[in-house]
Structure 1
Amino acid sequence: MKFKNTHKDHQITDESIYQSRRKLLKAGLIGTAGMLSSPNFALTLPKSEPNSKFVIDELTREQDATTYNNFYEFSLSKSGPSEKAGGLKTDPWSVEVGGLCEKQGTFDLEKLINQFQLEERIYRMRCVEAWSMVIPWNGFKLSDLIKYCKPLNSAKYLYFETLYDPKQMPGQNGRSIPWPYREGLRMDEAMNDLTLMAVGMYGKNLPNQNGAPLRLVTPWKYGFKGIKSIVKIQFMDKQPINSWQAIAPNEYGFYANVNPQVDHPRWSQATERRITGGFSLFNSRIDTQMFNGYGDYVADMYNGMDLRKNF
């Protein structure tokens, strides 16, 4: 799926202007409405004032965000997805929606996203392996899709599934995890205003190695929660088992909330290494924030829960 370019060549924003506009945005001088213009991706962003929930920070270089990835469907290495994902066919693409909802069926993705308002969200993203990035995503709120599908009152969870196609995704020929990849959210998490269904990043179509053409983005959770290349969504009354929870329940829980006080069994989560101007083991470490810094927007969902047991 490609987004049609409605701009003339002289209207295309080059990288220097793109970055300078981000500086204006950070200073509160412009909203996000006028920020997006590129040869391959033309969207009309909503007019809005800068919002603190969209973390304005030093962006990770696009080159780093698109070449340092976790996507086991293609490779177990960080560089492998960008090297092996180019052949994935993402146009056309359909998403099967079912379960406890009134409006279900198999939907053409391009037609589906035309139902929703696309936005740019600049989010701090945290990987369970103690590295982090700041990425500008383009997408629509998952809550808009949920409302469109009209869930029944009995629907308490959302289940997601990645494409299973070993011919296109060579990593699926191995046994690193039980394929296809599976993930889930509680309904209030799915409805949270921060939860995004991304179709692009850096003002361009979402690259294959980053989960094209549709992926989940929940910035207060660890990266393994961000299921990629989604082909199936189901409304459920019981909590689904996600892939990593099925493989190693002592290491990966259902919630995946960023909690620096809960270590992974094999490493500490108290600090992270931010990737901005290139990845290096010499990048300085910074303290990890509870809920990745988004506590003001998500902490209420977990009141009364033991976040050490519900990790």
Structure 2
Amino acid sequence: MSDHPIPPDHADPESGERRILSPGSPNPRREFLRSAALFTATAGALGGGLELLTRRPGGPGSAEAQGAAFTRPARPLGPYDTSEAVTPYAQATSYNNFYEFGTDKSDPARMAGSLKTRPWTVRIDGEVRKPMTVDIDTLQGWFPLEDRVYRMRCVEGWSMVMPWLGFPLAALIRRMEPTSKAKYVQFTALLDPKQFPGQRQPVLNWPYVEGLRLDEALHPLAFMAVGLDGRVLPGQNGAPLRLAVPWKYGFKSIKSVVRITLTEKQPQTTWALAAPQEYGFYANVNPAVPHPRWSQATERRIGELGRRKTLPFNGYAEQVAGLYRGMDLRRFF
């Protein structure tokens, strides 16, 4: 599909790479996520998922699954949280774009049992002083996990409000010590057609690749999620590690990440290669710039009737507009 092949995620480690595979220091919250992730693989094989094991709200037949509002435990809003109503867990985990499982919105929830999230390693390389391959449990144990309630706007014109659990991307990047040549961050998702049946079809140029400019990646809003609504991240939502950049269209928030590479040149990203006139590298939410096939001025919030106005940068203009000062946002879409 492209004249620019995407680097495979199984390339030989560069000289000096370290492999860190042992668990980090004990952390109760991290241990919960680790245990839940292990349970997910078992329950997924049985077709029930994590809900069968935990009996948390949102399981089949629950009030939430029938459309009732889910009340989250009260907590003070953080500096990056939206105060908007959270999308019910059952809807957030059953209406998804994740083409690795299939192109229908229901495919990810139906097929996610094939994804095994343990063992799982993430390779961090490129323009960093500390390249390494790290076990996912060790990685998330490096940082205190935070709750973030973010708006999420799909390029297709629908939106949700997602209560993520994870850590700032900036914390991970700084730990790796970028070199002076680092200008961009490239993310690569897992390539495994056995686990991702959608990859058996040439819908996209697999594996899925996304990227950010380094200053975008270091912004406090850029977030690596390992959980959703206080629970382990479901497979259909990008387990065990996904990106969340709330001021950009949802396709930028790559799922099931296995490699993070700091580069000097702008990455060749999947959708920008597949349809460059429709999906730009930046993909900042901009209601004034229509998609070639539909308007972006309004959106449909999942769980609501009617449509609402879309906000510039998805409502995060005050925080992020300065990143693009002087840029033509119609040209760099």
Task: Tell me if both proteins adopt one fold, taking TM over 0.5 as the criterion.
Answer: yes
Counterpart amino acid of residue 295 in structure 1: A
Structure 2 counterparts to residues 133-152 of structure 1, below 5 A? 133-152=160-179
Q: Name the residue aligned to 1:65.
A: 92
Q: Matched residues, percent identical?
A: 52
For 2:288, which of 261, 266, 275 is the aligned residue?
261
Q: Name the residue aligned to 1:129.
A: 156
Q: Name the residue aligned to 1:4.
A: 31
Q: Deviations over 1:166-209 (max 9, x none)?
A: 01100000011000000000001000000000000011000000
What is the CA distance between 1:52 and its match in structure 2?
Answer: 4.8
CA distance in 2, matches of 1:232, 1:105: 10
CA distance in 1, matches of 2:258, 2:181: 23
* SS at 2:217 equivalent: helix
Is the counterpart of residue 287 in structure 1 residue 309 in structure 2? yes
What is the CA distance between 1:13 and its match in structure 2?
Answer: 12
Q: Name the residue aligned to 2:328.
A: 306
Q: Name the residue aligned to 2:108.
A: 81
CA distance in 2, matches of 1:183, 1:58: 29
Q: Name the residue aligned to 2:223.
A: 196
What is the CA distance between 1:113 and its match in structure 2?
Answer: 1.2
> What TM-score comes out, normalization by structure 1 length?
0.85
In structure 2, relative to structure 1, the CA distance for the partners of 1:150 and 1:208 (3 Å cut) is: same
> What TM-score comes out, normalization by structure 2 length?
0.79
CA distance in 2, matches of 1:209, 1:275: 17
Q: Do 2:298 and 2:308's aligned partners in 1 also have CA atoms closer than 8 Å?
A: yes
Q: Name the residue aligned to 1:28.
A: none
CA distance in 2, matches of 1:106, 1:271: 42
CA distance in 2, matches of 1:291, 1:103: 33
CA distance in 1, matches of 2:78, 2:230: 18
Q: Deviations over 1:30-80 (max 9, x none)?
A: x3xxxxxxxxxxxxxxxxxx3353111111110000000000001100001
Q: Name the residue aligned to 2:275.
A: 248
Structure 2 counterparts to residues 1-311 of structure 1, below 5 A? 3-5=30-32, 19=71, 21-22=73-74, 25=75, 31=76, 50-276=77-303, 283-311=305-333
In structure 2, relative to structure 1, the CA distance for the partners of 1:163 and 1:303 (3 Å cut) is: same
* SS at 1:253 equivalent: coil
CA distance in 2, matches of 1:80, 1:108: 28
Q: Do 1:161 and 1:231's aligned partners in 2 also have CA atoms closer than 8 Å?
A: yes
Contiguous gaps of at least 5 residues in structure 1? 7-11, 26-30, 32-49, 278-282
Q: Deviations over 1:1-46 (max 9, x none)?
A: 995349xxxxx99769x82643xx4xxxxx3xxxxxxxxxxxxxxx
Q: Do 2:78 and 2:148's aligned partners in 1 also have CA atoms closer than 8 Å?
A: no
Q: Deviations over 1:81-123 (max 9, x none)?
A: 1001112100111001110001112111110111112100000
CA distance in 2, matches of 1:120, 1:215: 14
Counterpart amino acid of residue 135 in structure 2: D
What is the CA distance between 1:132 and its match in structure 2?
Answer: 0.3
In structure 2, relative to structure 1, the CA distance for the partners of 1:78 and 1:147 (3 Å cut) is: same
Number of matched pairs: 275
CA distance in 1, matches of 2:230, 2:182: 34
CA distance in 2, matches of 1:20, 1:254: 35
* SS at 2:308 equivalent: strand
Query: Which 4+ runs in 1 deviate beyond 2 A?
Result: 1-6, 12-16, 18-22, 50-53
CA distance in 2, matches of 1:185, 1:14: 35
CA distance in 1, matches of 2:295, 2:315: 18
Q: Deviations over 1:209-250 (max 9, x none)?
A: 000000000000000001000001101001001100000000
In structure 2, relative to structure 1, the CA distance for the partners of 1:308 and 1:208 (3 Å cut) is: same
CA distance in 2, matches of 1:300, 1:80: 38
CA distance in 2, matches of 1:64, 1:170: 23
Q: Do 2:30 and 2:140's aligned partners in 1 also have CA atoms closer than 8 Å?
A: no
Counterpart amino acid of residue 331 in structure 2: K
Q: Do 2:30 and 2:141's aligned partners in 1 also have CA atoms closer than 8 Å?
A: no
Q: Do 2:122 and 2:136's aligned partners in 1 also have CA atoms closer than 8 Å?
A: yes
